[in-house]
Amino acid sequence: VEEDQKRDVGVEAVCRSIRPLPLESSVSGTIVPEPSEFGTLLCKRRSLRAFSSEPIPRKKLERVLVDCAGGVMTSPIGNGTNCNKLYRTIPQGGGICSLSIFVILLRDTGHLSVGGYVLCPHTNALHKLEKGIDAKELAAAMRQAQMPVFGDASAILVIAGDFESKTFKYGKLGYRLVSLEAGCALQNALLSIADQDLAGFAYGGFDDQPLAEMLKLSFPDQTPLSAVVFGVPKSSE
């Protein structure tokens, strides 16, 4: 009964959100953009949830992480500091680096073993987390009864925000800025997945604190904001 009710709320919520304006009152008619690689990629992105058990190729996995929010270039800040500002694939409010990108490998890839990793955006290198990932703890943090978690998926990418780094300058506005940056990173990852013919979907159903603890984040200043489950697509999809 509970499942049926949940489904009804979901359908009701989607229906409520569909509110088209009458086309007759538009000033443009339906806009058909000039064909572009970027536009094609945007239209190609879909949530795909069926995975093959094939290992994810190393280059593809690494590209998803770097595309998501890797470093692109640095430039000196000046103002009497030796500090270099880091530019990333995401825009960052105030140029302050507030996002960390983690990946939890669910299956061996041949080059990296199962476990948690963090991307250093200064070098775009992956670092393994000291503590291993316990499969049962992960299932609980992901609110997944199914084992293995997410079936044949290869990995879970986790986008975590450090609110303190942004509220230090912007006060309460910092919370919104970090959340927006996480959205940018999420879209980057999903587009990278689509561009590389991988399968994946955004996943927001995790339990913040247990997942933060698994990733050694100091919750609640640092917290997971979004996740992407991804892997090699099942050929039938």
Ligand X SMILES: Cc1cc2nc3c(=O)[nH]c(=O)nc-3n(C[C@H](O)[C@H](O)[C@H](O)COP(=O)(O)O)c2cc1C
Token representation of residue 144 = 């997944």
Query: Which ranges in the chain belong to alpha helices (H)?
Result: 2-17, 37-44, 58-69, 135-141, 163-170, 173-195, 208-214
CA distance 183 to 229: 15
- Single out the residue of 26, 40, 47, 53 in contact with ligand X (rule: CB under 6 A): 47
Query: Is 230 among the residues that bind ligand X (CB under 6 A)?
Result: no
Query: Is 33 among the residues that bind ligand X (CB under 6 A)?
Result: no
- Single out the residue of 201, 209, 210, 216 in contact with ligand X (rule: CB under 6 A): 201
Which of these, 192, 216, 227, lies nearest to 116 by C-alpha position?
216
Q: What residue type is 18 in one-letter code?
A: I
- Single out the residue of 57, 85, 202, 210 in contact with ligand X (rule: CB under 6 A): 202
- Candidates 51-59, 106-114, 117-125, 202-210; binding stretch for ligand X (CB under 6 A): 202-210
Query: Is 78 among the residues that bind ligand X (CB under 6 A)?
Result: no
User: For residue 75, how far is the Cα from the chain centroid?
Assistant: 26
Give one DSSP letter per residue of 45-60, joined into a string: ------B-SSPPPHHH
- Candidates 28-36, 75-83, 98-106, 203-211; binding stretch for ligand X (CB under 6 A): 203-211
Query: Is 35 among the residues that bind ligand X (CB under 6 A)?
Result: no
**Choice between 90 and 126, CB closer to ligand X:** 90
**Choice between 41 and 120, CB closer to ligand X:** 41
Query: Is 163 among the residues that bind ligand X (CB under 6 A)?
Result: no
Beta bridge partners of 85: 75
Query: Is 51 among the residues that bind ligand X (CB under 6 A)?
Result: no
Query: Is 223 among the residues that bind ligand X (CB under 6 A)?
Result: no
Query: Is 40 among the residues that bind ligand X (CB under 6 A)?
Result: no
Buried b (16+ CB within 10 A) or exposed e, 148-161: ebbbbbbbbbbbbb
**Choice between 114 and 202, CB closer to ligand X:** 202
Residues that bind ligand X (CB under 6 A): 46-47, 201-205, 226
